[in-house]
C-alpha cells in the first residue's frame, strides 16, 4: 500500500494546488455570493461528492480514455460549461427573489438539496479534474506494493477531503462578506448578480479552453 511519506507528500501537494485560486474557487465564491454561506458550503460538498466518480473512473483506467479522447473530453467540457452558464443566468434572473421591503433580505428560493445536487453535477462534469487525476495520481502510487487502483482511490479521496476543507474556507469568507450586503436589498441584488456573472464567466472560460489545457 501507500507509504506514509508518499501520502503526506501528496497531501501537501494537494493543499498547495487547491489553495491557489482557480476555477473551483471562483465557482465557490460565485455560489456563496449568490446563495450565502449555507449555499456555498452545500455547493462545495456537492462539488467534491461529484468528483468521487471521477476518482473511481481514473483508478479503473476509464479516466485515461476520457483524457485522451478529444471528442469525449469536449462533450463533457461543453456540458459542464453550459451548466455553469445556466446556474449563472438563474442567479441573475432570481437576484431579487426573497428581498423584502424595508431593507431586509431573505434567502433566494433554492432548497438545500437542489443546491447540493447542482454542485454534484458541476463536480462530475469537470473534465479538468479527470486530466489532473490522470496526470498526478500515478506519480504517487507504489506499483511494487500492488493494489494500484485502491491506492489511486485513496489518493483521490485525500484530494477531495483537502479540497472540501480549503474550498469551505472560501465559501465561509465569501458568504460572510455577503452578509454586509444583506442589509440593503439593492446591494444584495447586485452581489447575487455578481456571483451569477462569475459563474457565467467561468463557464465561458471552460468552454473556450483547449482540450488538454
Q: What is the pLDDT of residues 6-40, one digit of tens each?
A: 889 889 888 887 877 677 788 888 888 888 889 99
- Average confidence (pLDDT) over 174-191: 74
User: Alpha-carbon torsion 101, 102, 103, 109, what sign?
Assistant: negative
Give residue 73's pLDDT band: very low, low, confident or very high (50, 70, 90).
confident
d(CA 175, CA 39): 9
Q: Tell me, yes or no, whether 51 lies in a domain.
A: yes
Cell numbers for 152, please give them: 489511486
Question: What mean pLDDT do residues 127-146 have?
Answer: 82
Distances (CA, A) of 145 to 2, 10, 141, 149, 158: 8, 17, 9, 11, 19
Domain limits for position 138? 4-11+23-208
Long-range contacts of 187-191 (CB under 8 A, 24+ apart): 188/99, 188/105, 189/95, 189/96, 189/99, 190/95, 191/33, 191/34
Task: Identify the pLDDT of residue 53.
Answer: 92
CA 175 to chain centroid, in Å, comes to: 16
User: What's the CA gap between 117 and 107, in Å, rounded?
Assistant: 18
Question: Does residue 92 lie in a domain region?
Answer: yes
213: in domain: no
pLDDT at 101: 43
Residue 17 included in any domain: no
- pLDDT at position 160: 94
Higher per-residue pLDDT: 20 or 171? 171
Give the model's confidence band at 116: pLDDT under 50 very low, under 70 low, under 90 confident, else very high: very high
pLDDT level of residue 88 (50, 70, 90 thresholds): confident
Q: Using the predicted structure, report yes or no on whether residue 89 has a pLDDT greater than 70.
A: yes
Say if 109 falls within a structural domain: yes
27-to-65, 83, 122, 140, 204 alpha-carbon distances in Å: 27, 12, 9, 28, 12
Give the predicted TM-score (pTM) of the model.
0.77
Q: What is the mean pLDDT of the chain?
A: 81
- Asked if 47 contacts 119 with a C-beta cutoff of 8 angstroms, the reply is yes
DSSP state of 181: H
Q: How far apart are the first and last CA of the chain?
A: 31
Q: Considering its fold, how many domains does the chain have in total?
A: 1
Q: What is the mean pLDDT of residues 109-136?
A: 84
Residue 69 forms part of a structural domain: yes
- The pLDDT assigned to 194 comes to 81
**16 is a domain residue:** no
Residue 183 lies in a domain: yes
Residue in this structure with the C-alpha cell 488538454, named with its chain if needed: 212
Burial status of residue 126 (CB atoms within 10 A of its CB: 0-12, 13-18, 19 or more): buried
Amino acid at each position: 500500500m501507500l507509504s506514509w511519506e508518499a501520502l503526506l507528500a501528496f497531501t501537501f501537494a494537494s493543499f498547495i494546488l487547491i489553495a491557489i485560486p482557480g476555477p473551483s474557487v471562483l465557482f465557490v465564491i460565485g455560489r456563496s455570493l449568490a446563495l450565502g454561506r449555507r449555499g456555498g458550503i452545500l455547493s462545495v460538498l456537492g462539488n467534491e461528492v461529484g468528483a468521487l466518480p471521477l476518482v473511481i473512473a481514473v483508478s479503473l483506467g476509464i479516466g485515461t480514455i476520457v483524457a485522451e479522447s478529444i471528442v469525449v473530453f469536449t462533450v463533457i467540457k461543453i456540458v459542464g460549461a453550459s451548466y455553469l452558464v445556466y446556474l449563472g443566468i438563474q442567479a441573475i434572473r432570481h437576484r431579487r427573489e426573497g428581498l423584502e421591503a424595508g431593507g431586509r433580505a431573505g434567502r433566494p428560493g433554492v432548497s438545500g438539496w437542489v443546491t447540493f445536487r447542482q454542485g454534484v453535477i458541476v463536480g462530475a462534469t469537470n473534465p479538468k479534474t479527470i486530466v489532473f487525476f490522470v496526470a498526478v495520481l500515478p506519480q504517487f502510487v507504489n506499483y511494487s506494493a500492488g493494489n494500484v487502483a485502491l491506492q489511486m482511490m485513496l489518493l483521490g479521496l485525500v484530494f477531495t477531503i483537502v479540497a472540501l476543507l480549503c474550498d469551505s474556507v472560501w465559501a465561509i469568507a465569501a458568504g460572510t462578506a455577503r452578509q454586509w450586503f444583506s442589509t440593503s436589498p439593492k446591494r444584495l441584488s447586485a452581489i447575487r448578480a455578481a456571483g451569477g456573472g462569475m459563474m457565467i464567466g467561468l463557464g465561458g472560460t471552460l468552454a473556450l479552453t483547449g482540450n488538454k489545457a
